Structure 1
Amino acid sequence: MTGDQLLIFLAGIVGGALRVGVPFLFVSLGECLTEKAGRINLGLEGVLVLSAMVAFGGSYLSGSPWIGVLAAAVAGALLATLHGLLCSLPRVNDIATGIALMLLGMGLAFYLGKPLIQPQAAQLPAIPLGFWSDSAAVRAALQINALLPIGLLLAVAMWWAFASTRAGLLVRMAGDSAHATRALGYSVSGIRIAATAGGGLIAGLGGASLTLFYPGSWNEGISSGQGLIAVALVIFARWSPLRCVGAALLFGGAGAIGPALQSVGIGWGYHLFNIVPYVLTLLILVITCRPGVIVPGSPTELSSNK
């Protein structure tokens, strides 16, 4: 590999991490907020797919990608709110409800999104981080999603809110001790419904980044399981919004290895490298999710029987 090829390869990895990592970032932040309140939402895969379709449709019909982003956030919040309301009912299991909502979200997206498979919608603007290079390949690799700065600011805001605000304390309290929360006169169900809705809204931004930037189109295989991977990502990040940034970039970079190799003419094993994010997910779950072991940082209520 020559020096120019190495530069293109490294730029591809960095750019890919920043592009591919954006949906991971938003969905993991959404799940982090939900789980901090003591609820698991496996339905985020359905939220991601539905919001991706709604974002594309909103951009296509309005001509503005930002209207598509807003529509995706609303769609994600609505589906997640349904999950929160159902889980607040007696004897309702978070996991089973999440799987049902995942199937509902994906089914709605596939049914309503069929007319959107062929059309082109207005895309989000790119931030050119490769302006310093004379190489067209490097400049193309370092075109960054305009939603990325929003995700980074959101991660910092969530970290600060959990540590320094009354609302953040209430979310953490609901996740660590439902009895203490009720003893202080607060509604555990209300807090969890609000956190679940907020998590869905944030995850909806991840769906918008899929169809309005990279890969920038709508099809039924757009997500590739990123909503489910986000659950492992949150465990890996130890329920910290700031660590979610690093975890999302790691998974994004892992997913970018194959395309980066192909960009420098190495085609062997291209499809093999596409499974790296799934292998990482499996390793994280095997290492952390062992019987009788509580992961450090885990909200206490998540370890109780649902």
Structure 2
Amino acid sequence: MSADQLLIFFAGIVGGALRVGAPFLFVSLGECITEKSGRINLGLEGVLVLSAMSAFGASYLSGSAWIGVLAAAATGALLATLHGVLCSLPRVNDIATGIALMLLGMGLAFYLGKPLIQPQAPQLPAIALGNWSDSAAVRSALQVNALVPIGVALAVALWWAFANTRAGLLVRMAGDSANATRALGYSVSAIRIAATAAGGMVAGLGGASLTLFYPGSWNEGISSGQGLIAVALVIFARWSPVRCVWTSLLFGGAGAIGPALQSIGISWGYHLFNIVPYLLTLLILVITCRPGTTVSGSPGELSSAR
């Protein structure tokens, strides 16, 4: 492998980590908010797919990619709010409701998105990180989604808010001890519904990243399970918004290995590298989810019998 090929390969990994990792970042941040309040939302796969369809449709109809982003956030918030309200009812299980909402979101997206498979919608602007290079391949590889800096800033803001604001402390308290929250006169259900809605809104931005930047189109297989992978990613990040940034880049880089190899002419085993993110997910779950153990940083209500 020549020096130029090596540079193109590493540029492909870095650029791919930022492109492929963007949906992981937003969905993991959304799930982090939800789980900090003591609730699990396995329906984020449905949120991601329906938000992706909404973003593409709104961008196509309005002619503005940023209106598509707003539509994705609103769609994610609405579907997640439905999850939060249903889970607040007596004898309703978070896991079963999440799976039902995932199927609902995906079904709605596939049905309503049929007319959007062929058209092209306005795309989000790219941030060029490769202008320092004379190589067209490097410059192309380092085109970054304009939502990525917003996601990083949001992760830092959430990290600060959980530690320093009243709203953040209430979310953490509801996630650690529902009884203590009630004893202080706060509604656990209201806090969890609000946190779930906020998490869905953030996750919806991941859907916008899919259809309005990379791959930049709408089709029924666009998510590839990224919403479900994000649940394992939050566990790996120990429920820290800042760590979600690094774990998202790790998963994004893993998903970019195949395309990076293809960019330098190595096509053997290309499809095998596409399974790396799923192998990482399985490895994380095997290592962290052992019977009788509690993962460090886990909200207390998630580890208790409910």
TM-score, normalised via structure 1 length: 1.00
Letter in structure 2 aligned against 1:297 = G
Q: Report the equivalent of 1:253.
A: 253
Aligned-pair CA distance for 1:118: 0.2
- Matched with 1:219 is 219
**Match of 1:18?**
18
- Distance apart, 1:159 and its partner CA: 0.1
Aligned to 1:6: 6
Matching of residues 187-198 of structure 1 within 5 Å: 187-198=187-198
Counterpart of 2:55, as a letter, is: A
Partner in structure 1 of residue 272 of structure 2: 272
**Cα separation, 2, equivalents of 1:291 and 1:41:** 21
2:301 counterpart letter in structure 1: E
The code of the aligned residue for 2:88 comes to S
Give the match for residue 241 of structure 2. Answer: 241
Q: 2: distance between equivalents of 1:105 and 1:128?
A: 34
Q: Name the residue aligned to 1:289.
A: 289
State the distance in 2 between where 1:58 and 1:153 align.
25
- Which residue of structure 2 aligns with residue 28 of structure 1? 28
Residue 51 of structure 2 corresponds to: 51
Q: Tell me which residue corresponds to 1:110.
A: 110
Aligned Cα root-mean-square deviation (Å)? 0.3
Measure the CA separation in 2 of the matches of 1:60 and 1:110: 17
Q: Deviations over 1:207-229 (max 9, x none)?
A: 00000000000000000000000
Which runs of 5 or more structure 2 residues have no equivalent in the other structure?
Answer: none
Deviations 1:234-274 (CA, angstroms, capped at 9, x unpaired) = 00000000000000000000000000000000000100000
Task: Give the match for residue 37 of structure 1.
Answer: 37
Cα offset, 1:14, TM superposition: 0.2
Q: Are 1:136 and 2:136 an aligned pair?
A: yes
- Pairing 1:57-76 to 2, within 5 Å after superposition: 57-76=57-76
2:185 aligned partner: 185
Displacement over 6 Å in runs of 4+: none
| d(CA) in 1 for partners of 2:291, 2:90 | 26
- Letter in structure 1 aligned against 2:267: G
Distance 1:131 1:52 in 2: 30
Return the alpha-carbon distance in structure 1 between the equivalents of residues 72 and 18 of structure 2.
21
Aligned-residue sequence identity (percent) comes to: 87
Distance apart, 1:116 and its partner CA:
0.1
The residue aligned with 1:84 is 84
Tell me the amino acid that sits aligned with residue 14 of structure 1.
V
Deviation at 1:305, TM superposition (A): 2.1
Residue type at the aligned position of 1:47:
V
**Residue number in structure 1 paired with 2:145:** 145
SS of alignment partner, residue 228 of structure 1: helix
Q: Secondary structure at the match of 1:199?
A: helix
Matched, 1:93 2:93: yes
The correspondence of residues 201-212 of structure 1 with structure 2, limited to 5 A, is 201-212=201-212
Aligned partner of residue 191 in structure 2, secondary structure: helix
SS in 1 for 2:256: helix
Aligned to 2:228: 228
1:110 deviation in Å?
Answer: 0.1
Task: Tell me which amino acid in the other structure corresponds to 1:120.
Answer: Q
| Matched position secondary structure for 1:144 | strand
Please give the per-residue CA displacement for 1:134-167, whole angstroms capped at 9, x wherever unaligned.
Answer: 0000000000000001000000000000011110
CA distance in 2 between counterparts of 1:131 and 1:264 reads 20
Q: In structure 1, what is the Cα distance between the partners aligned to 2:112 and 2:38?
A: 32
